[in-house]
Structure 1
Amino acid sequence: MRTRAPLATAALAALLATTTTLAGCGSGSPPSPPSGVDQLVVPTPDPDADDFVEVVDNPWFPLLPGTRWEYDVPRATTETLVVEVAAGPEVAGVATTDLVRTSADGTVVRDHYAQDTAGNVWWFGREGEWTAGVDGAEAGLAMPADPRRGDGFVTGRSTSGDEVATVERLDGGAVVPQGEFDDTVELEVRDAAGLTRREVYARGVGLVLVGETALVDLTRPE
């Protein structure tokens, strides 16, 4: 992913796709328009493997091996969702890390991510649905290294269209069964079908709340 002219549009990859981080600033910080993030081209048509690192340790979107998240999904036919980290495939020449979601009925969804040298996390595709570099699909920004209130970005571009996220809050909090979090980033995400959802990410944890789906258990690597 080469740095070039100011970025085009805006968005974030949804962790809980089938049902589905960053130095914060205070509420007094001025919002920036949803038109770009730090001169990145988003989505990126030509990622460069030299621009990426092996470990995804963005504080709001950490994908460290051995981490396990469990979510309660209200009013779903399968009420629990387990999310784990695994090695991913090489996509568009970039080694990725997979976020693997397993529903109670055994349905598995794998999303491919990679972090660049500046700390931004990019979404490179979803197994069986779309892959960056194939049929016009392009990697989008899953979580910037330094989000600002009002920032917007394309999280991924596929044949279905763009998914777009906007940073709504940096100084909020969330109370979920796992606990209370007061250092969070809140995003509003609009998918390719035009549907929107609210996602809340906690520092050092990752996604804790999306809609009414909430984190109930967290296992960290030893």
Structure 2
Amino acid sequence: MRRRATAAIAALSLAGVTLAGCGSASAPSPPTGVDGLVIPTPDPAAADFVARVDNPWLPLAVGSRWSYADRVSGAPAFTLTVEPGPSVAGVATTTLVRTNADGSLVRDHFAQDRAGNVWWFGREGEWRAGADGAEAGLAMPAAPRFGDGFRTSSAPGRSEVATVAEVGAETRTPLATYRRTVRLEIEDAAGSRDETYARGVGLVRTDEAGLVAYDEAR
């Protein structure tokens, strides 16, 4: 994976990096997370990636399962499960399978680099890094900071950008209350949405659904 000396948050102009926590002023954040990365990455090298995705904000151990319910009605919304993934652009991936309430499936492929950053390598049937001009985007930095921004995907006809909107805010779900959290604001052609991740658990809340069960792979 090519790296540059400056932070590669292409096409974004984000001034919020000098803030941290729940919007309170603080000293500038030290270099971590997206600094020095080319995002999206046009030429991933297999040697830059590891076999497991164990980023604390987006842990993807094969066999893990998350279940979510609608935040208004309480009805089942979707489940997430993890399975071994295919090789994409020469990189071995881990696949996160979303099963919606209507039974439809979405399979997304991820891989983690040696620094702990998780990259999104494609969505089955829609796009795949290295094919037709698509490139792997950053799904979750190793150390997300308030104000960081990055492209999560880049493919012809689609582009998605995430911003770290909040760090450390208390987040309540039907399963538990979490205090070590990261909230991402994600924008694509369809609009914007929020996703909240808890350290050691992963995704715990979206705009529409909250976590009701988590079965970690043993």
Scaled by the length of structure 2, the TM-score of the pair is 0.87
Q: CA RMSD in A?
A: 2.1
Note the 1:136-215 alignment, pairs <5 A.
136-193=133-190, 195-215=191-211
1:62 counterpart letter in structure 2: P
Tell me by how many angstroms 1:173 deviates.
1.6
Residue-by-residue CA offset, 1:10-61 (whole Å, 9 max, x unaligned): 79xxxxxxxxxxxxx64544577xxx92110000110011000000000000
- Partner letter of residue 220 of structure 1? E
Aligned to 1:221: 217
Instruction: Pick one of 94, 114, 135 that aligns with 2:91.
Output: 94
1:169 shift after superposition? 1.1
The structure that is strand-richer by fraction is: 2
* Alignment size in residue pairs: 204
Partner secondary structure for residue 215 of structure 1: strand
User: Which structure has the bigger radius of gyration?
Assistant: 2
Structure 1 pair 112–30 and aligned structure 2 pair: CA distance change class (3 A):
farther
Structure 2 distance, partners of 1:89, 1:10, is: 30
Q: CA deviation at 1:208?
A: 0.5
**What letter matches 1:201 in structure 2?**
Y
In 2, the alpha carbon distance for the partners of 1:47 and 1:141 equals 12
Q: Does structure 1 residue 84 correspond to structure 2 residue 81?
A: yes
TM-score (norm 1): 0.85
Unpaired runs of 5+ residues, structure 1, are: 12-24
1:57 maps onto 2:81 in alignment:
no
Q: Distance in 2 between matches of 1:96 and 1:169?
A: 28
Q: CA deviation at 1:160?
A: 2.2
The residue identity in structure 2 corresponding to 1:185 is V
Identity of matched residues, %: 57
How far apart, CA to CA, are the structure 2 residues paired with 1:31 and 1:168?
A: 16
Q: Which residue does 2:17 correspond to in 1? A: none
Residue 44 of structure 1 is matched in structure 2 by 41
Alpha-carbon distance between aligned partners in 2 of 1:198 and 1:31, rounded to the nearest angstrom: 25
Distance 2:184 2:115 in 1: 21
